């Protein structure tokens, strides 16, 4: 428990604002009808935001997690393993939920159909099913919180920057009409909890990935 408490304390720059966002957004989502958040955000579309979120959303792609893991091979093998585990476990949880309890759940474009005129960003393929939960949000929070954990509390602003990037990637899913707010909220929780779990396991001295080889780099 001491190890876990220390891990959480060192990552206040990420977890504190995240907690506030989750509480605030969660309260709003419980209060408003489903989909209202998508319509409201969609009304505030702008050409600059279209371009920005079209690319920011890729921070939640699986290939982005793999690229980060490969890059970390030149920092420490252990860090690369940490990213892959956090991404892999969170992705597995998301896909199990999508394919079982929430299989076929419509995304905003299918949910609203022709009843609501929505703005779509050119060049972004809009999906119709398997909405809940958001895999991109889970990946973004799993990857960026893992990066924050690797900073070992040395850079509070670095942790906060990781939080902002993860949040931007998650928000882009609603802006691009790919997910409802609840999809992103739960995806963020899955990614966050997975990153904390993997980070906690990584700090157990008896684990195999704490052997000298995994502390080296390319």
Percent of the chain with pLDDT over 70: 96
Mean pLDDT of 148-169: 92
In angstroms, the Cα distances linking 161 to 115, 144, 146 are 39, 9, 13
Closest CA to 6 of 206, 167, 203: 203
Query: At which residue do the structure tokens 């408003």 appear?
Result: 32
Mean pLDDT of 116-145: 96
Q: Which residues contact 121 (CB under 8 A, 6 or more apart)?
A: 45, 50, 53, 54, 176
Mean pLDDT of 17-37: 97
Mean pLDDT of 87-114: 96
Spell out the long-range contacts of 205-213 with Cβ–Cβ below 8 A and sequence spacing 24 or more: 209/78, 209/81, 210/78, 213/77
Give CA–CA dist 64/140, Å, rounded.
9
Give the pLDDT of residue 207.
Answer: 67
Give the pLDDT of residue 206.
Answer: 61
Mean pLDDT of 141-151: 96
Give CA–CA dist 25/101, Å, rounded.
24
């Amino acid at each position: 428990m001491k190890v876990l408490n220390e891990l959480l304390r060192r990552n206040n720059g990420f977890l504190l604002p995240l907690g506030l966002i989750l509480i605030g957004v969660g309260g709003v989502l419980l209060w408003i009808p489903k989909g209202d958040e998508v319509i409201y955000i969609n009304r505030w579309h702008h050409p600059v935001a279209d371009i920005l979120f079209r690319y920011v959303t890729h921070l939640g792609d699986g290939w982005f997690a793999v690229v980060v893991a490969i890059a970390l091979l030149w920092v420490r093998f252990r860090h690369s393993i940490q990213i892959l585990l956090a991404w892999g476990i969170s992705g597995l949880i998301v896909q199990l939920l999508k394919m079982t309890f929430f299989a076929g759940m419509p995304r905003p474009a299918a949910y609203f159909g022709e009843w609501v005129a929505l703005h779509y960003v050119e060049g972004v393929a809009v999906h119709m099913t398997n909405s809940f939960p958001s895999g991109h949000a889970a990946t973004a929070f799993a990857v960026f919180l893992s990066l924050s954990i690797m900073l070992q509390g040395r850079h509070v602003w670095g942790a906060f920057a990781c939080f902002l990037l993860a949040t931007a990637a998650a928000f882009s899913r609603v802006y691009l009409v790919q997910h409802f707010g609840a999809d992103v909220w739960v995806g963020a929780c899955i990614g966050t909890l997975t990153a904390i779990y993997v980070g906690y396991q990584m700090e157990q001295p008896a684990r195999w990935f704490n052997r000298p080889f995994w502390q080296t780099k390319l």
